[in-house]
């Protein structure tokens, strides 16, 4: 089978039902894939864009937890495909199709939608997480899958061995056959010839549909299983099936004029989320969002251009080493190494440093904010100082062990 035919016979399943509790109050009212990121996007825009750019245009987004904002975003921003060409992006909410349970794990989420997958007469299933930030050409991974004749191919990335205990770690032979798998091992195995790195699963899989269907049905009957791909099915396949590792470096999208490493981030914690946004404020960010050959798409709304007001001695509207999105007004304030999402206003004499300010926030006059994530629709009162007194920050807001502070409107209202 040629690659173009295989792409048309592939259904891409994006798992987007998770709460993402480690992001704390950022996911109180939205699912993790719907969290804003990088100034104008939502996290799910990255796997969706990768699918479209890879030629994978039959896509199902599986939703469950507080999915309204995610549903709204996908419906408004991703409805441009041609159904007469058998292209689609569909929302598949949890419907208890196989019983009385909601999705019990990543494998169970796909199992509960097997009837729809079979109805599409697909031959391959690409399973993706909806909460990672990266650029990958899935068609190159599919090509490897076809050439190897594997039952399942797992995308893997090299990670420093000292960080490997945070991931599912693959043991591979010289032909990249997966010969063992360990979930978050205390003593991770290293790659052949590379003692400083381990090979970690990215949570991206390509299955032959028949093989996947048979094994999901078996797993559903296993009362000891947690019904998760990483914890249960992938380890079970090792030694029983033809399972291959696909190196992310073989399909990562890199602009030839833009030097960068293979960028992939699981933004599952507040620190990781803050760091992923801060990455984009660097002179040469590791993730290139300016590549016209691999655009990251999102929902677009009519907004004016960003505006900077005043040029007096102590009242200069300026942004340094920052990302300022459409609709923003920096009015006599200084913004440094920060990201302002759409429709943010920073008022006179305020200083914002290393901050992530989500949409529609208003920072009052004479405020000082350092290493703060401000949730959407916050009204920061005049004279507020955050990020200078750890004890005071912890009493008023959420402050994690890395000194990143999260502020929501509910926290602000609780102070009055």
Pairing relationship of beta strands 132-134 and 168-172 according to DSSP bridges: unpaired
Number of residues assigned to the chain: 416
Provide φ and ψ at 63, rounded to 5°: -120, 155
Provide φ and ψ at 319, rounded to 5°: -135, 130
Annotated binding site for alpha-D-glucose 1-phosphate: which residue ranges? 103, 168, 183-184, 201
On the CB side of 228, CA atoms within 13 Å amount to 10
Choose among 188, 151, 152: nearest CA to 168: 188
**DSSP-assigned letters across all residues of 309-353:** E-EETTEE-EEES-EE-TT-EEES-EEES-EE-TT-EE-TT-EEE
Which of helix, strand or coil describes residue 26? helix
Which pair of tokens denotes residue 282? 């660097």
Which pair of tokens denotes residue 284? 């040469």
Choose among 76, 2, 1, 74: nearest CA to 31: 74
* Opening angle at CA 22, ends 20 and 27, nearest 5: 50
Q: Please answer whether residues 212 and 205 qualify as being in contact, where contact means their C-beta atoms are separated by less than 8 angstroms.
A: no
Q: How far apart are CA 353 and CA 341, in angstroms?
A: 14
Which pair of tokens denotes residue 130? 């909806």
From the number of C-beta atoms within 10 Å of its C-beta (0-12, 13-18, 19+), residue 238 rates as: middle
Q: How far apart are CA 241 and CA 210, in angstroms?
A: 13
Provide φ and ψ at 64, rounded to 5°: -155, -70
Q: Please answer whether residues 103 and 62 qualify as being in contact, where contact means their C-beta atoms are separated by less than 8 angstroms.
A: yes
Annotated binding site: which residue ranges? 103, 168, 183-184, 201
Q: How far apart are CA 323 and CA 38, in angstroms?
A: 8
């Amino acid at each position: 089978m040629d690659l173009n035919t295989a792409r048309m016979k592939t259904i891409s399943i994006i798992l987007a039902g998770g709460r993402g509790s480690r992001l704390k109050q950022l996911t109180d009212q939205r699912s993790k894939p719907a969290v804003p990121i990088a100034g104008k996007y939502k996290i799910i825009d990255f796997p969706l864009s990768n699918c479209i750019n890879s030629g994978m245009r039959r896509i199902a987004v599986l939703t469950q937890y507080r999915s309204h904002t995610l549903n709204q975003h996908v419906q408004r921003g991703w409805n441009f495909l041609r159904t007469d060409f058998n292209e689609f992006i569909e929302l598949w909410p949890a419907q208890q199709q196989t019983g009385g349970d909601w999705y019990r794990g990543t494998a169970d989420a796909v199992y509960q939608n097997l009837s729809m997958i079979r109805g599409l007469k697909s031959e391959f299933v690409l399973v993706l997480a909806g909460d990672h930030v990266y650029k990958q050409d899935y068609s190159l991974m599919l090509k490897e899958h076809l050439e190897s004749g594997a039952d399942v191919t797992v995308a893997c990335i090299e990670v420093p061995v000292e960080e490997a205990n945070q991931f599912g770690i693959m043991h591979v032979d010289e032909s990249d056959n997966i010969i063992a798998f360990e979930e978050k091992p205390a003593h991770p195995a290293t790659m052949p010839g590379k003692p400083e790195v381990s090979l970690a699963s990215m949570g991206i899989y390509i299955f032959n549909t028949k093989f996947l269907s048979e094994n999901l049905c078996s797993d559903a009957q296993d009362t000891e299983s947690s019904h998760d791909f990483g914890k249960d099915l992938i380890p079970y396949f090792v030694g029983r099936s033809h399972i291959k590792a696909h190196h992310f470096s073989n399909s990562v999208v890199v602009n030839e004029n833009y030097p960068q490493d293979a960028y992939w981030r699981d933004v599952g914690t507040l620190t990781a989320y803050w760091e992923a946004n801060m990455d984009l404020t660097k002179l040469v960010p590791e993730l290139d969002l300016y590549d016209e050959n691999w655009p990251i798409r999102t929902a677009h709304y009519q907004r004016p251009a960003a505006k900077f007001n005043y040029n007096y001695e102590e009242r200069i509207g300026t942004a340094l080493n920052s990302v300022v999105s459409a609709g923003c007004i920096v009015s006599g304030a200084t913004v440094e190494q920060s990201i302002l999402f759409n429709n943010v206003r920073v008022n006179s004499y305020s200083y914002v440093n290393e901050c992530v300010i989500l949409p529609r926030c208003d920072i009052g006059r004479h405020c000082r904010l350092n290493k703060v994530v401000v949730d959407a629709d916050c009204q920061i009162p005049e004279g507020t100082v955050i990020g200078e007194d750890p004890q005071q920050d912890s009493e008023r807001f959420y402050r994690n062990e890395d000194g990143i502070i999260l502020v929501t409107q509910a926290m602000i209202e609780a102070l009055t």
